[in-house]
Structure 1
């Protein structure tokens, strides 16, 4: 197996170098071992359908999409070469209070060199990620693709969002192959009252294990000047998974709700996963470069290549007693503070400078 392992005190990670996916993230916290990221149950099985993208064959953890979804400008598999092809280890070194590993994609994307830097810090329950594009031409849409297991469902909370919207195309339109819960296309400014396919409404902050469906919805960040965040309180796992971003870099959060709603291989109605896909993208490379609905809302959907483009993301987890996620997540000097509905607080070590909130972002 072509993998790269690295660790710091209380946390370890493994990158699958064949596709650039994070194969494992293991966090020691509160006397428990947490594994916030999902790994597909079919990995290393020999009986998969022919023609699957390598990124689906080895689907795990989190990975870079560039472009996000369809590669219909430059030929490449679904989610682009960063999610489907080999990465080389550039460096692996100790840093003050942690460890840093850097990798380079063997393919170029729109002529750009793509590099990935992963950082673990002693005592921090987070993986810090940076991706950099150097050179190239044209523009590229991007997204992270963290996935978390939802064995018995859970509850979600978010930094302020302006609206949620589904695309025109239904995820699984054929009842013989799968099912969907949401209406397509639809939108709502209230995440707890999103239009459903049956004419009613559903709560996007509630991931119910009893409803089998495959859905995709885009959340647009509101203007609030702070960190973008998603918190997933997982019931069976008794933890809270956190995905953090700079909204100026990644202005949308796309939820992939794969809750057993695909009955064909390799999914076989067994997934039970939530994707929390922070991005700068519409659905498909060509759509991201064109006059899409997000641009009409004033939202950037691609980075212009040619110089140096970087963006960052953080993913981690903490033990959680009780079923509700935090109502607020705030970066403090050296700490991340979680505030709960009952007024309670929790703080953990955190590099509040990493996301570079307030710094200029390249267009």
Structure 2
């Protein structure tokens, strides 16, 4: 388990994001806590290699591709380079990654009042430029953030992004910010359905409940 706390003293508004990247040897599946929507962006991350059509927004489990609707929670098995943004509802928010080849589950926790987005960077051989050279495959970034995603820093500060339609905070205001974050690994491949935190972390899955020792004061 990895506990992280970032303390920032800002004189100007600023974006912020965690940037963990996870290897998937044989694909995987994302599950997440209550969300407002999932979005794709107008500009592709790598021209000609995006799987999902740009400019989409959904509260469901599928996004449109050139081959028809596809579950966005399933890591793509074809060459692609995609960047999605999950907009979470307020509260303790979580994202879980079930890794098929590794046989485990990675669980990320945040306060969505501070970090309202979770950006999914699906990099599966579609980034042809140096230093990736098409070899950066089977990698998923799960990036908890306050930002404008692929629209960039200037869009976050100006509000010139479709995320503004969801009334999503895009940058931290000036002042002092204490930002807790946690990443833990469960050594079983599980589909997580709910996560609650009281005196311990209680993880509900389709395979049964799990209780994980956890310091609840980390998110207080």
TM superposition score normalised by structure 1:
0.57
Matches within 5 A, 1:12-31: none
Deviation digits for residues 189-218 of structure 1 (CA, Å, limit 9, x no counterpart): 11x21121x06111111114x311100011
The structure-2 alpha-carbon separation of the partners of 1:350 and 1:300, relative to structure 1 and needing over 3 Å to count, comes to same
1:212 aligns with 2:212: no
Deviation digits for residues 331-361 of structure 1 (CA, Å, limit 9, x no counterpart): 130x21111124x1111111122122xxxxx
> Cα offset for 1:134?
1.8
1:293 is aligned, of 150, 153, 162, to: 162
> Cα offset for 1:180?
1.6
Please list every run of 5 or more consecutive structure 1 residues that lacks an aligned counterpart in the other structure: 1-125, 357-363
Alpha-carbon RMSD: 1.6
Q: Is 2:10–2:173's contact at 8 Å kept on the other side of the alignment?
A: no
Q: Is 2:104–2:190's contact at 8 Å kept on the other side of the alignment?
A: no
1:332 aligns with 2:201: no
What is the rounded CA distance, in whole Å, between the counterparts of 2:59 and 2:88 in structure 1? 11
1:139 aligns with 2:13: yes
Deviation digits for residues 315-340 of structure 1 (CA, Å, limit 9, x no counterpart): 121100xx44211122130x211111
Matches within 5 A, 1:146-165: 146-165=20-39
What is the rounded CA distance, in whole Å, between the counterparts of 1:276 and 1:240 in structure 2? 13
Matches within 5 A, 1:89-108: none
Give the number of the structure with larger relative contact order, counting CA–CA contacts within 8 Å between residues 6 or more apart.
2
Deviation digits for residues 105-158 of structure 1 (CA, Å, limit 9, x no counterpart): xxxxxxxxxxxxxxxxxxxxx21111122242x200111111110111111100
What is the rounded CA distance, in whole Å, between the counterparts of 1:255 and 1:166 in structure 2? 10
TM superposition score normalised by structure 2:
0.92
What is the rounded CA distance, in whole Å, between the counterparts of 1:268 and 1:173 in structure 2? 14
- Structure 1 SS opposite 2:29: strand
2:59 is aligned, of 172, 189, 202, to: 189
What is the rounded CA distance, in whole Å, between the counterparts of 1:241 and 1:331 in structure 2? 17
Q: Quick check: which has more Rg, 1 or 2? A: 1
- Structure 1 SS opposite 2:219: coil
What is the rounded CA distance, in whole Å, between the counterparts of 1:331 and 1:353 in structure 2? 10
What is the rounded CA distance, in whole Å, between the counterparts of 1:233 and 1:135 in structure 2? 36
Please list every run of 5 or more consecutive structure 2 residues that lacks an aligned counterpart in the other structure: none
What is the rounded CA distance, in whole Å, between the counterparts of 1:324 and 1:347 in structure 2? 13
Aligned length: 216
Deviation digits for residues 41-78 of structure 1 (CA, Å, limit 9, x no counterpart): xxxxxxxxxxxxxxxxxxxxxxxxxxxxxxxxxxxxxx
What is the rounded CA distance, in whole Å, between the counterparts of 1:165 and 1:340 in structure 2? 26
Deviation digits for residues 286-332 of structure 1 (CA, Å, limit 9, x no counterpart): 11111232233111111112x31221211121100xx4421112213
> Cα offset for 1:168?
0.7
Matches within 5 A, 1:103-142: 126-136=1-11, 138-142=12-16
2:97 is aligned, of 227, 232, 245, to: 232
1:348 aligns with 2:176: no
1:167 aligns with 2:41: yes
Q: Is 2:95–2:109's contact at 8 Å kept on the other side of the alignment?
A: yes
Q: Is 1:156–1:232's contact at 8 Å kept on the other side of the alignment?
A: yes
